[in-house]
Amino acid sequence: MPDGFEEHPVPVYAATLEARLPATLVIAKARQRKVYGVIDTEQIERVLKSYRDFVALCARKESETGEPCLTRAKSRLILIRKSGAGALFAIGSKAPII
């Protein structure tokens, strides 16, 4: 999603995230080992769970609002529209940060 690196948030559909999740998990696992030197499987699993939780959060919010989540990679935040208002969530967070 190169558009997600621009100044403005872009929609990200849950179906797209779900389709890309298996490959993302493979890459994230390899990155934990190669880049960060993590060998503890429980620690790696916590990281992978954060990706699964993020996808589940986006799917749930899209189902609730009927609109895809908006993302902007620079801030590592997602914006979820709800009845015309927005709430910012940190990736993997279940509670709004503002």
Report the C-alpha gap between 78 and 46 in whole angstroms. 20
| % of the chain surpassing 90 pLDDT | 43
Q: Per residue in 47-57, pLDDT tens?
A: 999 999 989 99
C-alpha 18 chain-centroid distance: 10
Q: Per residue in 51-74, pLDDT tens?
A: 999 899 999 999 999 999 887 665
In a domain, residue 31? The reply is yes
Structure tokens at 6: 């621009």
Range of the domain at 42: 2-90
Q: What pTM value is reported for the model?
A: 0.68
In a domain, residue 57? The reply is yes
Overall size of the chain counted in residues: 98
In a domain, residue 96? The reply is no
Report the C-alpha gap between 13 and 70 in whole angstroms. 9
- The count of domains in the chain is 1
More confident residue, 4 or 34: 34
In a domain, residue 95? The reply is no
Mean pLDDT for the stretch of residues 30-37:
90
Amino acid at 69: C
Q: Computed over its alpha carbons, how large is the radius of gyration of the chain?
A: 14
